[in-house]
Amino acid sequence: MEIKKYKLTDICDFQGGSQPPKKEWSKSKKEGYVRMLQIRDFTQSHKNNVEYVKVSKRLKTCKTDDVLIGRYGASVGKILTGLEGAYNVAIMKTIPNEKVLSKKYLLALLKAPLFQNFILSVGVRAAQAGFNKDDLSKFQVYLPSLDNQKRIAKVLFDCENLIQKREESIKLLDEFLKSTFSEMFEHTKGETISLNDVIEIQSGLVSPNEPPYNEMFHVGGANIESETGNLVNLKKAKEENLISGKYLFTDEYILYSKIRPYLNKVAIMNFTGICSADVYPIKTMDKNILNKYFLKFKLQSQHFLSHANSNSDRANIPKINRKALLSYKFILPSIEVQNQFEKIVKFTLRIKSQFKDSLSELNNLYGSISQTAFKGELDLSKVDISQFDKLNMSETNLEDLSNEVSAEAVTIEKLEQIIKGRFGYQEFSISQIEEILAKQGIDYTTSLVKGFIKDLLSEEKIRTEYSGSTHQVIFKYNI
């Protein structure tokens, strides 16, 4: 495969945008005006902040297939495409010589780590004042034939699409758990208690520079990802040269970041480690009363967030103190239902772990292909991403997931639906209910079913009778 080396500016021209005076701008489309494109139109399209400017010879315009580059500040090097109109001075348009360089290949090249690392290394001046053509002339491009450029671009875009799908699936799994928690517990019934009744907050400090604590991983608020509770960038205490006292936690604990409660940082722990004083290590007093998976999602619920935000001290840096945390009141559902939710969480997290593993593989593949391709070292005959196509085809459908994991949890609402649907006002027994649950693949325990039957009796939705023929206590739905 013949490959030629060029300066980027020898095969591609670059055209800066224009900035019309504000008097020529309009919020609405009208005759003689054209859409004015800004960085936010590409990065925040959901906000629909569309503006128009008066048509003039000074304007620089682009089409939907043109490749644009962000020039300034945080958007320097950001690659933009897909919109048509005039563009402002924060954007630069690429004008490739399409006899030797295809737009698709150029788009893939500019988005690749090789170019992105280059443009970010141009220097502080470029980040603030904007890079120029002299900067771009220093970037070397290896060009295969146009046919091979199209093939390479397709491989990279296919890989990018799989990466985006996997990232979206991971986000949807997080949303699925939140919605499942809401569905299972939003209208739950039970005793109203305070956290003070059911949790303990670790209070004793340990020295992070002494064994065995210096060999343990340290978790600070910055290591807990907002909303998801994922742990990031963990280091051992000795790597951080920690001196001040820390809290010890085990796999029985969850960690709650007390600084800026609105950030919603709560993590379930599965190892022994130490955490900073800005984090509350919390464990349940009795596992037969409160499940830590239920507790984690309860502390991330909107109900608790409202409590935390309204009870935070410090104006500049909000923080919830122990007293305010422990005073939180909520309805405690049965431990059986809490444990069912734990099963759903663990099942979903297993899928999420698989997705994250394949995402890592996809990112490695993309990086490897783009690196070799844009250095002129790629042998197209050896490129094979069919294994990732298979991963994509076998990806779990979230609707199916919802049905699958929801089937694991029997709730009082489901039990009532079964009774009304199968028996109407006919008599039924607990053994008949259990038989139906088993046939439908719904996970249950006899104590859980009996507990729900007891609740329905107390609400007078069902009543008990004695069957003379079977010599058993039977139930009927009340008219």
Query: What pLDDT shows up at residue 423?
Result: 81
Domain final residue pick, 332, 364, 395: 332
What CATH number does residue 442 fall under?
A: 1.10.10
Rounded distance, CA 403 to CA 409, Å?
Answer: 10
Q: Could you report how far apart the first and last alpha carbons of the chain are, in Å?
A: 81
Q: How far, in Å, are 95, 199, 250 from residue 99 at the CA level?
A: 12, 70, 63
What CATH number does residue 323 fall under?
A: 3.90.220.20
Rounded distance, CA 94 to CA 86, Å?
Answer: 14
Beta bridge partners of 465: 474
Q: Is there a domain that residue 404 lies in?
A: no
Q: Is there a domain that residue 423 lies in?
A: yes
Could you tell me which of 339, 454, 340, 334 has the C-alpha nearest to residue 407? Answer: 340
* Same domain? 16 vs 89: yes
* Same domain? 195 vs 105: no
Q: Is there a domain that residue 183 lies in?
A: no
Q: Is there a domain that residue 199 lies in?
A: yes
* Same domain? 216 vs 319: yes
Per the CB < 8 A criterion, the answer to whether 170 and 355 are in contact is yes
* Same domain? 135 vs 195: no
Beta strand 246-249 with 205-206 is antiparallel
Q: Is there a domain that residue 407 lies in?
A: no
* Same domain? 313 vs 197: yes
Q: Is there a domain that residue 15 lies in?
A: yes
* Same domain? 128 vs 222: no
Domain final residue pick, 123, 143, 163: 143
| Cis amide linkage into residue 333, ω under 30° from 0 | no
* Same domain? 133 vs 208: no
Per the CB < 8 A criterion, the answer to whether 77 and 91 are in contact is no
* Same domain? 139 vs 195: no
Number of domains observed in the structure of the chain: 3
3-state secondary structure of 152: helix
Domain final residue pick, 308, 332, 356: 332
* Same domain? 326 vs 200: yes
Q: Is there a domain that residue 41 lies in?
A: yes
Query: What pLDDT shows up at residue 127?
Result: 46
Here the tokens at position 38 are: 């800004």
Q: Is there a domain that residue 360 lies in?
A: no
* Same domain? 97 vs 32: yes
Sequence-distant (6+) residues with CB within 8 A of 438 are: 444
Each residue's pLDDT, cut to its tens digit, for the chain (479 residues) gives 578 899 999 999 999 999 999 999 999 999 999 999 999 999 887 778 899 999 999 999 999 999 999 988 888 999 999 999 999 999 999 999 999 999 999 999 999 999 999 998 885 554 455 688 889 999 999 999 999 999 999 999 999 999 999 999 999 999 999 999 998 998 888 899 999 999 999 999 999 999 999 999 999 999 999 999 999 999 999 999 999 999 999 999 999 999 999 999 999 999 999 999 999 999 999 999 999 999 999 999 999 999 999 998 766 789 999 999 999 999 999 999 999 899 899 989 988 988 898 899 899 989 989 999 898 887 765 666 555 555 554 455 555 555 555 544 567 777 888 888 888 778 888 888 888 877 766 766 676 777 788 778 878 888 887 666 666 678 888 76
What phi, psi does 155 have (nearest 5°)? Answer: -60, -45
- pTM greater than 0.85 (yes/no): no
Instruction: Domain of residue 425: give its range.
Output: 412-477
